[in-house]
Amino acid sequence: MAAVDLSTHPGHLARRLQQAHYLLWNTMVSEEITSPQFAVLNTLVAEPGLDQRTVGERVGLDRSTIAEVVSRLGRRGLLGKARDPQDGRRFLLDLTEEGVRVHRRLTVRTARMNQVFLAPLSAEEQEQFFALIGRVADAAENLRAV
């Protein structure tokens, strides 16, 4: 049996990209706050007061993962959660003052990290990269619903 060309396997390339992202994140952004945790903070900066399920949907995290991320951010004092007065089963989320400060600091660092990460691509190639990878990611999320 012949070996396959892994350069044509999206999962292999996605894993390599994730490894590079993880390395850059830990060295340039934060060893304490993960990329998914930052995504939650960022979502709540854009849309304060969202419920936990909606935040999970916005950042592409399943129910158990978003619950764990919210719990960790809460223990660090970066976000607060309160029961929705309209629906006691839902939790509404807001950043604390410290959460806003941490988000602001990490936003600057993520911008620098993204410059390094995308340095091999021209500005036009970066736009194409985001468009293509976004389409694939959106399609992959739709597969979960099947």
| Residue closest to 103 by CA, chosen among 44, 31, 21 | 44
Radius of gyration over every alpha carbon of the chain, rounded to an integer in angstroms:
18
pLDDT tens string 36-61: 999 999 999 999 999 999 999 999 99
- CB–CB of 43/58 below 8 Å? yes
Alpha-helix runs per DSSP H in the chain: 10-24, 35-46, 52-59, 63-75, 97-118, 123-144
Q: What is the pLDDT of residue 140?
A: 83
Give me the residues paired with residue 87 across strands.
Answer: 84
pLDDT confidence tier of residue 82, bands split at 50, 70 and 90: very high
Q: What is the pLDDT of residue 94?
A: 96
The residue written with tokens 């991320």 in the block is 69
DSSP conformation class of 94? E
pLDDT tens string 101-125: 999 999 999 999 999 999 999 999 9
Residue 145, pLDDT > 60, answer no
Element (DSSP H or E) covering residue 83 = strand 79-84
- CB–CB of 70/81 below 8 Å? yes
> The dihedral of CA 37, 55, 86, 99: what is its sign?
positive
Average pLDDT over residues 25-38: 97
Average pLDDT over residues 82-110: 94
Whole-structure pTM value? 0.89
pLDDT confidence tier of residue 146, bands split at 50, 70 and 90: low
**Percentage of the chain exceeding pLDDT 70:** 98
State the CATH architecture for 25-119.
Orthogonal Bundle (1.10)
Q: What is the pLDDT of residue 88?
A: 85
Residue spans per domain, the chain: 25-119
**Percentage of the chain exceeding pLDDT 90:** 85
Q: What is the pLDDT of residue 123?
A: 97
**Helical axes 35-46 vs 97-118, angle rounded to 10°:** 120
